[in-house]
Structure 1
Amino acid sequence: MLTNIYHHKIDVVTDDIDVQGHVNNLVYLKWMQDAAVAHSLEKGWGHDQYGKLGCSWVVRAHQIEYHFPAFENDQLVVVTWVDSFRRASCIRKYEIRRESDQKNLAIAQTNWAFVNLEKRMPARVPQEIIEAFKSDGIAQTS
């Protein structure tokens, strides 16, 4: 297994359900962000570490493709990894799976921009961050 892959467990609760009786699409976005933050923490990059750099990640774009609905009491896992880095951004991918039947409920990706918080401008992703998320299959371009 690639060390870059992170598994984030989710228990679907009543508040996640919409009027159609399944998980609301906005909840998937929250789970994606939660998984990305947890993965970053696991790699040693939490709020304090980014704060010392005066930088943080912000979302430029999300893309989600839904395959099957999730329901209350489902146990899910958000599988996520950083697929590639560019000078001031990265692409993070996600698969959201139901544990009981291993169905892939959704696939997604987020384009994250690395920004200088004071200047509110893109900043070069430091090599130590790239190294923390590297795996055998990661691509890096400049």
Structure 2
Amino acid sequence: MHGIYLHHHTVSKEEIDLLGHAGNVHYLEWTLAAATAHSSAAGWDWPRYAQLGAAWVVRRHDLDYRRAAMLGDALTIHTWVSEIRPASSTRRTRIERGAERLFEATTTWAFIDLRRGAPTRIPAEVRDAFTVLEDGP
């Protein structure tokens, strides 16, 4: 069981926009990368989901940008599952530079049958791989 997962990232030159800070789309990319890494660390990588015939897709993102990430910043991305329902889950993410909070996201994920492209119940083996924590760090 995995609760809060920590993912690390250093802001690269390619992620800097015309305003001189990390472009907004990159925060979302980092959020998704952390979620994928967390799932893999919990034993659920893409090949295992494909074998199961079901996987997660995003239904909704709620994003809150607080401060800008700059070139070379070492970021810590905290991510955790805050709720699991029969065919969906909610994941929360916080991105920090040291003790400074830069970004928060709440993402609703639907668990879908890959053949039908429709929601399906989350099997116990997937559900049990994640610890549900309402509040994070």
TM tier relative to shorter chain: over 0.9
Alpha-carbon distance in 2 for matches of 1:15, 1:56: 30
Give the alignment of 1:30-41 within 5 angstroms: 30-41=29-40
Q: Does 1:27 align with 2:26?
A: yes
**Aligned sequence identity (%):** 40
Per-residue displacement from partner, 1:87-127 (whole Å, max 9, x unpaired)? 1110000000002xx10001111101100010110010111
d(CA) in 2 for partners of 1:14, 1:119: 40
Map 1:86-97 → 2, pairs under 5 A:
86-97=85-96
Structure 1: distance between partners of 2:50 and 2:77: 26
Matched, 1:7 2:6: yes
Aligned to 1:105: 102
Q: Give structure 2 stretches of 5+ with no counterpart.
A: none
How has the CA–CA distance of structure 1 residues 31 and 62 changed in structure 2, closer, same or farther, with 3 Å as cutoff? Answer: same
Report how many residues are paired.
134
Q: Which moved more, 1:125-134 or 1:5-14?
A: 125-134
Q: Which residue in 2 is equivalent to 1:118?
A: 115
Q: C-alpha displacement at 1:56, in angstroms?
A: 1.0
Task: Please give the alpha-carbon distance, in whole angstroms, between the structure 2 residues aligned to 1:42 and 1:55.
Answer: 18
TM-score normalised by length of structure 2? 0.94
Whether 1:131 aligns to 2:128 is: yes
Which residue identity lines up with residue 122 of structure 1 in the other structure? P
**What is the Cα-based RMSD across aligned positions, in Å?**
1.3
Q: Which residue of 2 aligns with 1:51?
A: 50
TM-score (norm 1): 0.90
Deviation, structure 1 residue 129? 1.1
